[in-house]
């Protein structure tokens, strides 16, 4: 199935919200990890979201070029081509973009979609995330409203965040964020709605924070308070009769019970990155350790080309990551729920 259009993406999100499941949103930084995401979703018969961060885009462009926009475009084009071979719906998204990178990352990618649309082609990305959580809410929303207008014009869904996700991801650290910043208040949630609802015809997802932490932790080490999402949704419904499409960031180390509780409160997208990085790397390490004298030319020997051919271990990494993505689909109840129709 080709990468979805705006109408199908909206149908995906509406179905998840109505039926209390969520889509894993998988960060990719190479063709191999993108292929792993497609395979994992297909194996689960689940629709899904593939996303690119600023760091992932930079990596994909190569260590010489280091162009996060060019790398993101390259990965997106790869997914557009490969997704046609899979019987599932795939949406393309960009992950955390802080205010300092809006002009150098988000706006160029939106401009690229504008050019494609002018040629009668599909959007490059279906949604983008603006992470203005480092700013006071009023400043955060001022930028978000501007981006919302650009996105609405081009049938792009915007993801925003208020409150801080702890830990470190993609070179951005919130490891010492004040505790109160880790929890979005009902007042903040209402403020986000009132700001973004100004833009008619726009659609957005909201990453509210409830103790989330980026990184990898043992179960029980991350102190989530999912009830915060319920309190915010209840406040929004009471005042405006509305309901958010919520996003769960920093889910590594969360229990299945906590994850399932968030689904009841409107989470329709959960980012999965740390766990899939490990799931890709572990089979690669296993291959290297089991074939040590084959991947290296030791003591004057010639090694084993079949062992040191990158395709051998990258294929193993792809399968390992795909299996973890299928597990994520099971955890989020999206398995077997693809809306794809042949």
**Burial of residue 20, with CB atoms counted within 10 A of its CB: 0-12 exposed, 13-18 middle, 19 or more buried:** middle
Q: Give the active site residue among 95, 273, 275, 331.
A: 95
Does the annotation mark 293 as catalytic?
no
Chain centroid to CA 3: how far? 15
Outline where DSSP puts E strands in the chain: 23-27, 48-52, 90-94, 127-130, 157-162, 166-169, 172-174, 204-208, 213-214, 246-248, 267-272
In three-state secondary structure terms, 38 is: helix
Nearest to 122 by CA among 92, 146, 159: 92
In whole angstroms, what is the distance from residue 217 CA to residue 324 CA? Answer: 16
C-alpha to C-alpha distances, 137 to 121, 131, 133, 149, nearest whole angstrom? 36, 11, 8, 18
Could you say which DSSP state residue 251 is in?
A: -
Tell me which residues are annotated as active site.
Answer: 95
């Amino acid at each position: 199935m080709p990468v979805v259009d705006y109408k199908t993406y909206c149908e995906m999100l509406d179905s998840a919200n109505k039926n209390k499941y969520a889509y894993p949103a998988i960060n990719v930084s190479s063709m191999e990890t993108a292929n792993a995401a497609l395979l994992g979703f297909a194996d689960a018969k689940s629709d899904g979201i593939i996303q690119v961060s600023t760091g992932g885009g930079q990596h994909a462009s190569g260590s010489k070029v280091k162009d996060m926009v060019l790398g993101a475009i390259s990965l997106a084009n790869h997914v557009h081509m490969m997704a046609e071979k899979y019987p599932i719906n795939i949406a393309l998204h960009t992950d955390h973009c802080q205010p300092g990178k809006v002009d150098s990352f988000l706006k160029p990618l939106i401009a690229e979609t504008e050019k494609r649309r002018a040629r009668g082609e599909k959007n490059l990305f279906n949604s983008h995330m603006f992470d203005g959580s480092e700013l006071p809410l009023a400043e955060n929303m001022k930028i978000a409203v501007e981006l919302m207008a650009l996105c609405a014009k081009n049938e792009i869904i915007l993801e925003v965040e208020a409150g801080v996700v702890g830990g470190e991801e993609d070179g951005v650290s919130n490891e010492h964020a004040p505790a109160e910043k880790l929890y979005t208040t009902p007042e903040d949630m209402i403020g986000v709605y009132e700001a973004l609802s100004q833009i008619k015809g726009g659609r957005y997802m909201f990453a509210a924070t409830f103790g989330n932490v980026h990184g990898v932790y043992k179960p029980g080490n991350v102190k989530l308070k999912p009830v915060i999402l319920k309190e915010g949704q209840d406040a929004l419904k009471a005042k405006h009769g509305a309901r958010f499409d919520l996003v769960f960031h920093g889910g590594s180390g969360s229990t299945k019970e906590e994850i399932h509780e968030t689904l009841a409160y409107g989470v329709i997208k959960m980012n999965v990155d740390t766990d899939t990085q490990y799931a890709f790397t572990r089979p690669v390490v296993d291959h290297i350790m089991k074939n040590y004298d084959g991947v290296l030319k030791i003591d004057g020997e010639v090694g084993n080309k079949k062992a040191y051919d990158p395709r051998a271990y990258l294929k193993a990494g792809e399968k390992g990551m795909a299996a973890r993505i299928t597990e994520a689909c099971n955890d989020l109840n999206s398995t077997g729920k693809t809306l794809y129709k042949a």
